[in-house]
Amino acid sequence: MSLGDLQQLAMLAVIRLRGDAYGAAIRDELARVAGGSVSVQTVWVTLVRLEEQGLAASHEESAPGGGRPHRIFRITPHGRVTLAEARASMARMWEGVVQP
Amino acid sequence: MNRRGDGPPGIARRALRWLLPGPAGREIVDDLNREYSRLRERYPRRVAGGWYLLQLLRPDTWRLAWALRRHGKVGGPDRRARIGTWGGSLSLDLKLAWRMLLKSPVLTVVGVLGIALGTAVGVGFSVFLTGMFFPTLPLEEGDRLVALTIWDAEAGRPTPPGLDEFATWREEMRSVRQLAAAAMEDRALVTGEAAPASVRAAAITASGFEVARARPLHGRYLVLEDELEGAPRVAVVGFDLWQTRFGGDPGVLGRSILLDGEEHTVVGVMPAGFAFPHKQEVWTPLRVNRARHGPGHESGLFVFGRLASGATRQQAQAEVTALGLRAAVDVPDRNAQLRPQVVPYTHPLENVDGMKLWQAAQLQLMVTLLLIAIAANISVLVYARTAMRQNEIAVRTALGASRRRIVSQLFVEALLLSIAGAGLGLGLAHVALAQVQAIFDRGEGVAFWLDYGLQPRSVAFALVLAVLAAVVVGVLPGLKSTGRRLTAGLRGGGASAGLGRGWTALIVAQVAIAVTVLPTAAYLGYQEIRMGAVRATFPADEFLTTQLGMALPVRPEMDGQAYRRETAARFAVRIPELERRLEADPAVVGVTFEGRLPGRGSAIEIDGRAEPRQVGSLSALSMGVATDYFDVLGARTLAGRVFRTSDVGVGGGTLIVNDAFARRVFGGGDPLGRWVRFLSGPQAGQDTDEAEGGPWLEIVGVVEDLYASAFDRERAPPTMYYAIEPAELPAANLLVRLRGDAVAFAPQLHQTIVGLDPELKTGPVENLASMPHARYLAMAVSALQLVLATVLLLCAAGIHALMSVTVTRRRKEVGVRAALGARPAHLLASIFSRVAWQLCLGGLLGSVLGGALLILHGLRRDEAAVFVGGVLVLMLTAGLLAAVGPARRGLRIQPLDALREE
């Protein structure tokens, strides 16, 4: 399965955030680390597609301090394997490439 | 940081919230709101607001909306797991519902019985209504069949078409093809060895079978040649008759049968279920003879046909109206007031007219009102119980259960209750309908299109009723109990059902609905029963009756007349011997006979003068009776005399009428000395030398009504009696009056008859009091009593439940008052006073509405007051009695216990 750029970035953001990967946090992580601004809806559509493909899963969790519950995302084992394959494919493609 | 009141545009926020449902949608909108706040820190309000509004138009927003609606929520388990989860929660709801129903056995039993009753009444009535007014004829293209009738505008009633109209329509109509006519009446059938029996016969044109498009099982049906004057007399028999009288023998074709003493040859057997045009068992040719039955003759035909291809009933009506107008011009004296009509096929057969449609609407109203009352009562019961579960509901809400979750669980509880009730109701309906069918089968027979069994649509109707009941009984109380007041109650330190004006309104409405609905339902039910209920005014339980006749073997050389002579001669010898043997028994009080001569039906003409003149056609029951008939029955003679031996036979020429006949026909005047004659049908009256009717008969006596309506004297059937010699009847009814147990004598009666002469055939011996109309009355009265009693019980149960909740909620108040020294009488008055004024207010409201409803149905104010007053007294009594238990519990409240409670 091939992963789009945004899908990979979103999956990496989820992994980086560990157990705190909810919608707004994922978006903030993407903006902070990857740079660039991604809309709320785009992040959520990406997350929905990842779930549909079985690459991610989510559950509802109460926010600390009694706030509204969040939907916390995690990467499934299948998702991790796919992400690793995508990374390996990218590395193979980069081999021997000399950027001017 | 957001400045106060500086949030995103409200309309856009709400639109997004609607577009993106569920918890995930809420989180997405929260993220958007956060983003708006960030923008608002750097940009003016209009920029940030504009950005926010644009989010509604982003394709991604709509993709998300689609995803949320398609999957139910974003993410989570896959669809199979979601279904599993849903199935898991349903299973849990069912378990909980079952436990709750067991925990409240009284509510469960009352609720199931109430819903069962409502379902039985609703389903049973729908079967009747559909069968009568919207039947599906089980014939090929049955919806294209129509009937043609005539409305007499002057008399204000329908009049059956005559042979002249039928012949004209058959020749000239284009929109109705295959026009046919039938004259239907009961005839005495004699076949071989079996006892004579009365059968439902039709003299029908051959085209009638083509209209039905039914193929015979054996042989053929009637053809055009059979209708010709002088053609051999033939008959077609029905399947059931073929089975019972001929043992299902395919060799029946060519055998002779006697119908009213006339020999017919069987030429065909129709398949099972064929009883066209109504509920017939035997068919003979109708011989159309214009010269014999010219204009003005009352021949009582049922005319029907199929709409031509592409024609509508409206087109047929226009055509027949034009023909009617032409007839009015040609023969204005007779036809000016006659309006031909094209109506649905079944309407003339079931006497469906404006009055009956009105009756059906009344019954529908009664059933609907009853169902509303039942549903309202059960809803109150469930609401009262739900009110006692406020703490449980509050805890579940605090633990995260959504309102939808709680209401759905209450709905499942109610659905379990209503499905159990619906199942029981279907069973009740099935049993009741089977009883009704059995009663009609033994009496008048059932129209061929009627099937009183439960159809799939009946089951579907019951399920729809069950779901509707579950919504009323479960969802509405659930929504009320989980409303905003719950949250307010939680904050106040205890969940509360929220007593107050709403609660009072509920109790008042409960009583008002019952007092509004019950009197009208009782009145409509009473009307229905009294219209059909006829009972004997003499001690019918002392009588046994059976059909009797001679069934000599038919020899090939015999013709019909010879057979009749020989039968009558043998019967004339056996009858006196049978009477002598029976009267010798000390258990027998008297023996007599009744029967009907062919050609003497119900249509009559009346005149009191020597020179006959047309007064008008009337109808009344007629019965041939032996000369000692009135003596054996113990009927009082009100005027004139009873029959003598000289009154018997053609030379007798006398009639005795009943009191109802004298009142209805002569308006209370003296009927003695007046003259009456029977108007004969197209195949009867052969022995008279008069063109249009039988001989004139003089009224020589008036007797009391032997059969009367149980409720309305005016509804006693007007009846004429003529003297007969039992031996001259093709089949006579033997009546034996007994001392002691009549039913126990039945085997001995049968033995006496068969022991006298093996050719003397008898039908089943029955007690006169157990005849179909008596069973119908008993069943109808029981049904009405059951319905009213159940609704009253439900009302009382509802009030009891409400009172229980009221007392429970006021424990602390009662405890405080008791602690302060209030006397028990004052406490009781305090508890009762509230319920009393609620009952009175509901009763007053219900009385006004119920009274108005009854007056709309034509009752006088004093009559309406009787019905309403009776129900009001019952309701108030039930309500006060229902309040006694909770009130006594209230008196036993210990002040300290009540004060300790939070």
Report pLDDT digits (tens) over B366-380. Answer: 676 667 667 667 777
Nearest to B269 by CA among B215, B204, B203: B215
Say yes or no for a CB contact (<8 Å) between A48 and B27: no
pLDDT at position B611? 38
Q: How would you classify the pairing of strands B157-159 and B145-152?
A: antiparallel
- Work out the average pLDDT over B29-43: 90
> Given CB atoms, is B636 within the 8 Å cutoff of chain A?
no
CB proximity B557 to A under 8 Å: no
Polymer length of chain B: 902
The whole-angstrom distance between residue B669's C-alpha and the CA centroid of its chain comes to: 38
B652 in Cβ contact with B646 (< 8 Å): yes
Residue A45: closest C-alpha in chain B: B64
Is the distance from CB of B718 to CB of B703 less than 8 angstroms? no
Comparing B479 with B224, the larger pLDDT belongs to B224
Q: Do B60 and A68 touch (CB under 8 A)?
A: no
Position with higher pLDDT, B504 vs B294: B504
Q: Give mean pLDDT, residues B33-62.
A: 89
Are residues B58 and A39, on separate chains, in Cβ contact within 8 Å? Answer: yes
* Gap from B403 CA to chain A (nearest CA, Å): 17
Contact A71 B64 (CB under 8 A): no
**B695 vs B176, more confident:** B176
- Report DSSP state, residue B144: G
Asked if the model's pLDDT at residue B15 lies above 80, the reply is: yes
CA proximity to B533, closest of B349, B703, B715: B715
pLDDT of B610 reads: 41
CA nearest neighbour of B563 among B192, B66, B206, B278 = B192
Number of CB pairs, chain A paired with chain B, less than 8 A apart: 62
DSSP B723-776: E--GGGSSSEEEEEEESS-TGGGHHHHHHHHHHH-TTEEE---EEGGGSHHHHH
When pLDDT is cut at 50, 70 and 90, the band that residue B699 belongs to is very high
- Coarse DSSP helix, strand, coil percentages of chain B, rounded to the nearest 5 percent: 55, 15, 30
CA B22 to each of CA A3, B8, B29, B402, B870: distance values in angstroms, whole numbers, following the listed order: 28, 20, 11, 11, 55
Buried b (16+ CB within 10 A) or exposed e, B781-797: eebbeebbebbbbbbbb
Half-sphere exposure of B249 (CA within 13 A, CB side): 9
B702: helix, coil or strand? strand
Q: Is B504 helix (H, G, I), strand (E, B) or coil?
A: helix
The kind and range of the H/E element at B720 are: strand B719-723
Q: Identify from A14, A52, A62, A71 which residue to disrupt to test chain B contact, counting B C-beta atoms within 10 A and taking the largest count.
A: A71
Q: What pLDDT band is residue B81 in, cutting at 50, 70 and 90?
A: very low
Can you give the pLDDT at residue A47?
92
Mean pLDDT of chain B: 77
Say yes or no: B61 contacts chain A, CB-CB below 8 A.
yes
- For residue B502, the one-letter residue type is G
Q: Determine the residue of chain A that is closest to B59 in CA distance.
A: A41
Mutate to test the interface with B, among A38, A44, A46, A72 (most CBs of B within 10 A): A44
Is B75 at the interface with chain A, CB within 8 A?
Answer: yes
Does any CB of chain A come closer than 8 Å to the CB of residue B56? no
Number of other residues whose CB lies within 10 A of the CB of residue B662: 22
What pLDDT shows up at residue B612? 40
Pairing of strands B621-625, B719-723: parallel
User: What average pLDDT score do residues B270-279 get?
Assistant: 87
Q: Tell me if A44 and B74 make a contact (CB, 8 A cut-off).
A: yes
B24, B31, B76 ranked by CB distance to A40: nearest:
B31
pLDDT tier at B683, thresholds 50, 70, 90: very low
Residue predicted with more confidence, A83 or B118:
A83
The tokens describing B856, both together, are 């709309």
Please give the pLDDT value at position B777.
59
Element (H, E) at B392: helix B390-398
The vertex-B739 CA angle with B733 and B743, nearest 5°, equals: 60
Residue scoring higher pLDDT (A48 or B462)? A48
Structure confidence at residue B500 (pLDDT): 57
Inter-chain CB proximity B34 and A70 less than 8 Å: no
CA of residue B170 relative to chain centroid, distance: 36
> Beta B719-723 vs B176-190: how paired, if at all?
unpaired
The pair of three-digit structure tokens given for residue B98, joined into one six-digit string: 């079952």
Say which residue the tokens 């010798």 belong to.
B584
Confidence of residue B619 (pLDDT cuts 50, 70, 90): low
| pLDDT at B585 > cutoff 70 | yes
Shortest alpha-carbon distance between residue A82 and chain B (Å): 19
- pLDDT above 70: percentage of residues in chain A: 93
Q: Say how many C-beta atoms besides its own lie within 10 A of residue B598's C-beta.
A: 21
DSSP per-residue string spanning B513-546:
HHHHHHHHHHHHHHHHHHHH-EEESS-GGGEEEE
**Residue B520 pLDDT > 80:** no
Q: How far apart are CA B218 and CA B879, in angstroms?
A: 67
Percent of chain B at pLDDT exceeding 70:
73
The mean pLDDT value of chain A amounts to: 87
Helices A5-17 and A77-94: crossing angle, nearest 10°?
A: 120
Nearest residue in chain B measured CA to CA from A52 = B75
Given an 8 Å threshold on Cβ–Cβ distance, is B35 in contact with A59? no
- Distance between CA atoms of B474 and B411, rounded to whole angstroms? 5
**Residue of B19, B27, B71 for testing the chain A interface, max A β-carbons within 10 Å:** B27
- Chain A residues inside the 8 Å CB shell of B55: 40-41
What 3-state class would DSSP assign to B550? strand
State mean pLDDT over B575-597: 89
| Cβ-defined contact of A47 to B31 (cutoff 8 Å) | no
Q: Dihedral sign, CA of A22, A24, A29, A31? A: positive
Out of B31, B61, B78, name the one closest to residue A23 (CB): B31
- pLDDT at site B692: 52
Which range has the top average pLDDT, A64-73, B215-224, B762-771? B215-224
Specify the pairing of strand B262-269 against strand B234-237.
parallel
How large is the average pLDDT for residues B749-764? 81
For the segment B678-699, the average pLDDT, to the nearest whole number, is 56
Query: What confidence score (pLDDT) does residue B355 get?
Result: 56
Q: Using an 8 Å Cβ cutoff, are B156 and B298 in contact?
A: no
Lowest mean pLDDT among A61-70, B14-23, B480-489: B480-489
Q: Does the pLDDT value for residue B721 go beyond 60?
A: yes
CB atoms A44 and B28 under 8 Å: yes
pLDDT in tens, B445-454: 677 877 777 7
Residue B251 is classified by DSSP as G
Selected residue with higher pLDDT from B553 and A15: A15
CB B271 within 8 A of CB B217: yes
Q: Which two tokens stand for residue B539?
A: 């001690």
| Residue B168 pLDDT | 87
Taking the CA of residue B84 and the nearest CA in chain A, the distance in Å comes to 17
Which residue type, as a one-letter code, is found at position A100? P
Please report which confidence band the pLDDT of residue B590 belongs to, taking 50, 70 and 90 as the band edges: very high
Enter the DSSP assignment of A16. Answer: H
Q: Is residue B831 a contact partner of residue B887, using CB atoms and an 8 Å limit? A: yes
How close B86 gets to chain A, by Cα (Å)? Answer: 16
**ipTM of the complex in this document:** 0.84
Determine the residue type at A33. Answer: V
Beta strands in chain A (DSSP E): 56-61, 70-75
Reported confidence tier of residue B769, pLDDT bands at 50, 70, 90: confident
Cβ partners under 8 Å of residue B692, min gap 6: B297, B679, B680
Return the DSSP state at B389: T
Contacts for A62 with CB less than 8 Å, ≥ 6 apart:
A69
For residue range B778-827, list pLDDT tens digits in order: 666 666 666 667 666 776 667 666 666 666 667 677 777 777 888 878 87
The pLDDT assigned to B2 comes to 41
CB pair distance less than 8 Å for A68 and B30: yes
Contacts of A27 in chain B (CB under 8 A): 31
Q: Does the structure show a pLDDT above 70 at B224?
A: yes
What is the token pair recorded at B443? 């009496």
Q: From the list A42, A59, A69, which residue is nearest B60 (CB)?
A: A42
Interface contact B32, partner A, CB < 8 A:
yes
Range with the poorest average pLDDT among B88-97, B542-551, B774-783: B774-783
Report the C-alpha dihedral over residues B536, B540, B541, B542, rounded to 10 degrees: 160
Burial class (CB in 10 A: 0-12, 13-18, 19+), B493: exposed
CB proximity A47 to B under 8 Å: yes
pLDDT of residue B616 exceeding 50: no
Interface contact B76, partner A, CB < 8 A: yes
Query: Any CB–CB contact under 8 A between B900 and chain A?
Result: no
Task: State the pLDDT at residue A65.
Answer: 63
Least CB-CB distance to A51: which of B26, B61, B75?
Answer: B75
CB contact under 8 A, A69 and B23: yes
- Torsion angle of the four alpha carbons B434, B439, B444, B446, in this order, in degrees rounded to the nearest 10: 0
pLDDT range class, residue B676, cuts 50, 70, 90: confident
Task: Tell whether the model's pLDDT for residue A66 goes beyond 80.
Answer: no
Q: Name the pairing type of β-strands B176-190 and B256-259.
A: antiparallel
* Paired sense of beta strands B543-550 and B637-640, if any: unpaired
Identify which of B231-240, B455-464, B730-739 has the greatest average pLDDT.
B231-240
Q: What average pLDDT does this structure show over B868-886?
A: 77
CA distance A3 to chain B (A): 18
Digit-coded pLDDT (tens) for B234-247: 999 999 899 988 88
Best residue in B63, B74, B78, B79 to probe A by mutation, most A CBs within 10 Å? B74
pLDDT tens, residue by residue, B192-205: 666 677 788 899 99
CB B264 within 8 A of CB B231: no
Angstrom distance (rounded) from CA B350 to CA B274:
18
Q: Is A56 on the interface with B (CB under 8 A)?
A: yes
- Is it true that the peptide bond before B277 is cis, omega within 30 degrees of 0? yes
Chain A residue numbers with beta carbons less than 8 Å from the beta carbon of B23 are 60, 69, 71
User: Does the model's pTM come out above 0.80?
Assistant: no
Asked if A69 has any chain B CB less than 8 Å from its own CB, the reply is yes
Whether the predicted pLDDT of A11 surpasses 90: yes
Give how far A90 is from chain B: nearest CA, Å: 28
Give me the pLDDT at residue B603, please: 62
